[in-house]
Structure 1
Amino acid sequence: MTSEAVKVIVRCRPMNEREKALSCKAVISMESARGQCFLQNPAAAGEPPKQFTFDGAYYQEHNTEQIYNEIAYPLVESVTEGYNGTIFAYGQTGSGKSFTMQGVVDPSTQKGIIPRAFEHIFESIQCAENAKFLVRASYLEIYNEDIRDLLGADTKQKLELKEHPEKGVYVKGLSLHTVHSVVQCEQIMETGWRNRAVGYTLMNKDSSRSHSVFTVNVEIYTVGPVEIRIVP
Structure 2
Amino acid sequence: MAPNMASESVKVVVRCRPLNEREKAMNCNMVISIDSSHCQCFIEKPGATEEPPKQFTFDGTYYISHSTEQIYNEIAYPLVEGVTEGYNGTIFAYGQTGSGKSFTMQGVLDPPSQRGIIPRAFEHIFETIQCAENTKFLVRASYLEIYKEEIRDLLGKETKQKMELKEHPERGVYVRDLSMHTVHSVGECERIMDQGWRNRSVGYTLMNKDSSRSHSIFTIHLEICSTDALLREYQEEIKKL
In structure 2, what is the equivalent of residue 224 of structure 1?
A: 228
Question: Which of these residues, 191, 204, 207, is aligned with residue 203 of structure 1?
Answer: 207
* 1:179 pairs with 2:146: no
CA distance in 2, matches of 1:169, 1:112: 28
- How far off its partner does 1:43 sit? 2.9
* 1:73 pairs with 2:43: no
**TM-score, normalised by the number of residues in structure 1:** 0.95
Bigger mean CA deviation after superposition, 79-88 or 22-31: 22-31
CA distance in 1, matches of 2:7, 2:67: 23
- How far off its partner does 1:221 sit? 1.1
In structure 1, what is the equivalent of residue 30 of structure 2?
A: 26
Q: One-letter code of the match for 1:119?
A: E
Give the match's secondary structure for 2:164: strand
Q: One-letter code of the match for 2:56?
A: F
- How far off its partner does 1:213 sit? 0.2
Question: Which of these residues, 194, 215, 219, is aligned with residue 215 of structure 1?
Answer: 219
More helix by share: 2
Give the match's secondary structure for 1:140: strand
In structure 1, what is the equivalent of residue 9 of structure 2?
A: 5
CA distance in 1, matches of 2:183, 2:19: 35
Residues 33-57 of structure 1, C-alpha deviation per residue, up to 9 Å, x if partnerless? 1110000011322210000000001
> Unaligned 5+ residue runs, structure 2?
1-5
Question: Which of these residues, 121, 124, 132, is aligned with residue 117 of structure 1?
Answer: 121
1:72-151 pair list within 5 angstroms: 72-151=76-155
Kindly tell me: are residues 179 and 102 of structure 1, through their superposed partners in 2, closer, same or farther at Cα, counting changes over 3 Å?
same
* 1:165 pairs with 2:169: yes
Q: Percent identity?
A: 74
CA distance in 2, matches of 1:19, 1:106: 24
Q: One-letter code of the match for 1:62?
A: H
Q: One-letter code of the match for 1:197?
A: S
- How far off its partner does 1:21 sit? 4.1
- How far off its partner does 1:211 sit? 0.4
* 1:42 pairs with 2:39: no
RMSD, matched Cα:
1.6
CA distance in 1, matches of 2:219, 2:146: 14
CA distance in 1, matches of 2:137, 2:18: 38
Q: One-letter code of the match for 2:148?
A: N
**TM-score, normalised by the number of residues in structure 2:** 0.91
Residues 160-187 of structure 1, C-alpha deviation per residue, up to 9 Å, x if partnerless? 1000111110000100000000010001
- How far off its partner does 1:4 sit? 1.7
